[in-house]
Amino acid sequence: MPNASGFRPRLRFVHPGRAAYVLALVAVAPPASRAVEPAARLALVPGSTVKVCQLTGDVDRQTGKPTLSQTNARAGVAATDLGSSFEHKGKLYFLFGDTWRHADGRDAHVARDALAWTDSRDPAQIRLDFLCDSKGQWLPLHVPGITLGPFEVPTYGVSIGDRMFAAFATRRGAETIFGRSVLAVSDDDGKTFQQAYELSADKFRVVSFWKSDPWLYITGAGRYRQSSVALARAKLDEVLDRGAIRYFRGLDAAGQPQWSENENDAVMLFHHDVVGEHSLAYCPSVKRYVMLYNSIRPRGIAMRWAVEPWGPWSDLEIVFDPYGDRGYGRFMHVAGWFGSTADGLQDPGRAGTWGGEYGPYIMARYTTGDAAGCRLYYTMSTWNPYQVVVMRTDLKLVPDSPGNEEDNSREGEAPAEPKDKTEPVSPN
């Protein structure tokens, strides 16, 4: 979501060695129980990660064919990103970030956020319908009492009863990039929202939700893409009471999770201070939670897994490498040193801006598998083109024994991140 000059404070993809981080954790969880050491670990099936289709825009940049949703022709959504999803009244709803009405981003400085949904049960055939006005043009989301301009976005949603809840990352004083999170509620399926309360200005500025009756679990990151992930929960019927939230503060001697009323007591599920957008998914067939996020070192979309939401969480493994898994030059633009247009993937006027992977939000509706493994489908943003694609990754259970470990980290050198992500960075 760039500003008027074409630069995007929330995410810099001016060089292929730079990426941002996103976490993915979604789905209905099993009853809470004591964490146990698994007999097998979850690992990537090498070569299984592929792009399924382009979800937004009118033309799939890789194939040159029309997209199924025709989001620009049907709703005026020329370009957008993010796309976290959640179930609500039998439909899969999507929350998109800063949305452009013009493919060249001329309106990026006034970009707002969009809501869409689908009835599809086939991840390759998702047809989006957007919340629109009487003229058929998408309507920006609005929450009275908070600003929702550029770089202020919905991070996740959840359905409880007939009500829709959404968390919004918005400004806090001079901190323009996700300074705080606000919980909002809708009683009319997202047409209007009302602010419930400020959720956090500390460890839960960027959050995701998942339900495990009777709990709503909340995962959170603090400073944008400079934090690790913490965990909290509240009973489903007490979500509107901020005082009902309890924060995970670690395990006791018996391995049982302990909870606190104080956000300051929240501990990190693992240490990797790069997390921003994220979500969590439980894969029933393999009885594991899966976490995805995009990483700088090692580069790509990273995966971790755990038996329980509070862990212990595994080491990371790269499940999408933009080079090795053929993202660059196929559906992510390669800018080159002089703004090459050779691949034909760039947005108008953005030939000098690299594409990049971020925002891998698992769509739990489409998860499949058996006792040996699972298949994940997730949305992922590509920055240039400024669109959202559907991705697929297969994971398998591998006996956790000495000598049976694969090195799938694909770690390599990457240039240092800019100290101030709001400033342009030269690729030199």
Q: What is the 3-state secondary structure (H, E, C) of 175-211?
A: EEEEEEEEEEEECCCCCCCEEEEEEECCCCCEEEEEE
- Are the beta carbons of 291 and 25 closer than 8 angstroms? yes
What's the confidence (pLDDT) of residue 336? 79
Global pTM value: 0.87
What's the confidence (pLDDT) of residue 341? 81
Q: Which residues contact 128 (CB under 8 A, 6 or more apart)?
A: 55, 56, 69, 71, 94, 116, 117, 118
Burial degree of 127 (CB within 10 A; 0-12, 13-18, 19+): middle
What's the confidence (pLDDT) of residue 152? 95
Give the integer Cα–Cα distance in Å for 235 and 101.
39
**For residue 50, what are the β-bridge partners?**
392
- Give 365-395 pLDDT, tens digit per residue: 999 999 999 999 999 999 999 999 999 999 9
User: What value does the mean pLDDT of the chain take?
Assistant: 87
Give the integer Cα–Cα distance in Å for 355 and 152.
21
Listed residue (183, 130, 133) closest to 155, CA to CA: 183
Query: Where does 40-399 sit in CATH, by number?
Result: 2.115.10.20
- Are the beta carbons of 392 and 362 closer than 8 angstroms? no
Q: Assign 37 a pLDDT band (cuts: 50, 70, 90).
A: low
DSSP percent split of the chain into helix, strand, coil, nearest 5: 5, 40, 55
* Average pLDDT estimate for 198-223: 93
Give the integer Cα–Cα distance in Å for 290 and 278.
11
- The amino acid that residue 143 corresponds to is V
Instruction: Give the percent of the chain with pLDDT over 70.
Output: 83
Would you say residue 46 has pLDDT above 60? Answer: yes
* Average pLDDT estimate for 143-163: 95
- Give 335-349 pLDDT, tens digit per residue: 976 667 889 999 999
Q: Assign 51 a pLDDT band (cuts: 50, 70, 90).
A: very high
Would you say residue 130 has pLDDT above 80? Answer: yes
